[in-house]
Copies of this chain bind each other. A is one copy, B any other.
Amino acid sequence: MPDFVKDNHQFHNPVEFAISKIGGTYKMPILWRLKDKKWRFSELQRSISHASDRMLSKALKELIEDGFITKEIFPEVPPRVEYNITERGIKSIAIIDALRNYGLDLMKDFGIENH
């Protein structure tokens, strides 16, 4: 597991790289929602209600830059914007699902009930 550098940032293993791309508080929740349909900004906002405008916007922007999602702007007033998942985004769904299931197992293990 040799170190490597990408975009002026040093990584020590593949997990660090993966987390740098889809980690953080909001990226996986976004990808998870986009996995089977397009979502508007305001829909994501309502659904991930603990995310502020700023954080949601920031996460979306980085996911676009990294090629996990795309953005379509409709020239209407008020504006309409739709976010769509890409091939690369689709490929991320499997680990998000695995992580989610592991999280559920851990919750059970720690005695957390999910109704």
Contacts and interface: CB of A to CB of B under 8 A. Distances in A.
B88 A18 contact: no
Interface string A1-45: 011101000001111111101010100110000000000000000
Contact of A95 (B13, B92, B102): B102
A96 interface: yes
Given A12-B50, A100-B13, A109-B88, A4 B114 contact: yes
B25 A16 contact: yes
Contacts of A106: 14, 17-18, 21
Interface in A49-92: 50, 88, 91-92
20 contacts: A3-B50, A6-B110, A12-B29, A12-B50, A13-B29, A13-B103, A14-B99, A14-B104, A14-B106, A15-B29, A15-B100, A16-B103, A17-B107, A18-B102, A18-B106, A21-B106, A88-B109, A92-B102, A95-B95, A95-B98
